[in-house]
Structure 1
Amino acid sequence: MPKMNQMLHFQIASSDEEEASIEYKSRIADEQEDGILIEVPISEKTGRYKRLFLGDELSVYFVTEDGIKNFFDSHVLGFVEDGVKLIKIRKPELDRITKVQRRSFLRVPAELEIAVKTQGNLRFVCETDDVGGGGISFICDGKWQLASEQLLDCWLLVPFKNGSIDHAFFKGEVVRVVDLESGRKQAMIKYASINDSERQKIIRFCFEKQLEFRNR
């Protein structure tokens, strides 16, 4: 198990591949029964601090004294003020720590209907380009004004293999916007706030979709 003062290295789930590839590091400041308290992480490359949000999914590893990397998956549970701001992440179960790197942020191409509301109360409906456990991307009309770090309320229509249809609500943060040659826009969104039950709907859809691809 990771220990006090040990350095954790991790990547954050994102539908933006560039964002998801950035590695951060953070020191373990304290330990609780159900969680680990870490300091505000910094980028390994730039040295800049990184803001984390409740529910952010993390792919984590730490290095033991014998130089072996140990990997586990976690997510942000909350925040604690203890003189400095600390971030509480889920403590891994011992049997979920592995020496083999794996990424749990399953992402699949999918054209799903999504309703979007901006903080200025603009509303529009468009289609996703891909969806995953850490975020989505969607294609929308070029007239909608979107910018990095903008927060959106989103309702994603999620169809399942058994024919049922559900909706998943989340607050998303725009990571990047790309102007397409067609005049439309592609927006990469990460989950700024999402309930576990809503995230599970999306993850279930992704796994069903992945199985469908494999069986073709």
Structure 2
Amino acid sequence: MELKIGTNIILESISSETTEKFRCKIVEQKNNVIYIDYPVNTATNKTAFLFEGGQYRASFVDEAKVAHAFKTQVLGRVKSNIPMIMLSFPTDEEIIKIQRREFVRVETPVDVAIEFDHQFYQFVTEDISAGGIAIIVNQSVSFKENDEIQLTIVLPFSNSNDGIKYVQTSARVVRFIEKDNRVIVPLQFTNTDDVDRQNIIRFCFERQLKIRKKETTF
């Protein structure tokens, strides 16, 4: 399998006691070796230095939006125009397709900023999932069905350690729905990286627990 230059990869440590995750990009590929830029720790946003021999689980999403995973090992470093790290790359038979379950949709208000055709809008969601959101449209807009728009989603976690996460992604306008004298517009994410997707999944899970807790108190 040939990976496209610039493909985002998430590395998850499997050779240390603590599970750390790093994000990086493919810079070059030669046969069974891929070259990545220096990875960034997803928790600290600091550049990480991977030790030679370290083993990781790598995952990426191809151009067809299919997720894949494989085991890899750090082979060394390369000094070129940009510093790179060499990782082993397996045969096609050793690359696993990740079967994604249907994303859980949670009804909760979240602030969303939208950019389309150099115009900016602010909305609140009707619901959210790792696959997309539905926004409540209370003003005239220039985008229409099947248009691709840019989103900035604000995720206010209850856990003080998480704070507020900002997810920037693109989305396709699915349709306009009139519901209870309101206009609801479902949006399907089209370019969400694994880190942002995991943040959305964690946020949805947190909100689910919060909703269930409220229901059990009545």
Structure 1 runs of 4+ aligned residues shifted over 6 Å read none
Query: Equivalent residues in 2 for 1:43-192 (5 A)?
Result: 77-79=61-63, 89-90=67-68, 103-118=101-116, 120-163=117-160, 164-180=163-179, 182=181, 184-192=182-190
Q: How far apart, in 2, do the equivalents of 1:109 and 1:179 lie?
A: 17
Q: Deviations over 1:112-140 (max 9, x none)?
A: 1100001x111110100000011110002
The Cα of 1:141 is off from its aligned counterpart by 2.1
For CA contacts below 8 A with separation 6 or more, give which structure has more relative contact order.
1
> Any stretches of 5+ residues in structure 1 without a counterpart?
1-32, 34-74, 80-85
Q: Provide the TM-score with structure 2 as the length reference.
A: 0.52
SS of the aligned residue for 2:146 comes to coil
The Cα of 1:180 is off from its aligned counterpart by 4.6
Indicate conservation of the 8 Å contact 1:76/1:87, yes or no: no
Q: Provide the TM-score with structure 1 as the length reference.
A: 0.52
> Any stretches of 5+ residues in structure 2 without a counterpart?
1-31, 33-58, 72-95
> What is the alpha-carbon root mean square deviation over aligned residues?
3.2
Indicate conservation of the 8 Å contact 1:159/1:166, yes or no: yes
SS of the aligned residue for 2:190 comes to strand
Indicate conservation of the 8 Å contact 2:125/2:134, yes or no: yes
Q: Deviations over 1:128-178 (max 9, x none)?
A: 000001111000224113322111100001011214112111101011112
Indicate conservation of the 8 Å contact 1:146/1:177, yes or no: no
The alignment-based identity, stated in percent, is 26
Indicate conservation of the 8 Å contact 1:142/1:185, yes or no: no
SS of the aligned residue for 1:176 comes to coil
Q: Which moved further from structure 2: 163-172 or 150-159?
A: 163-172
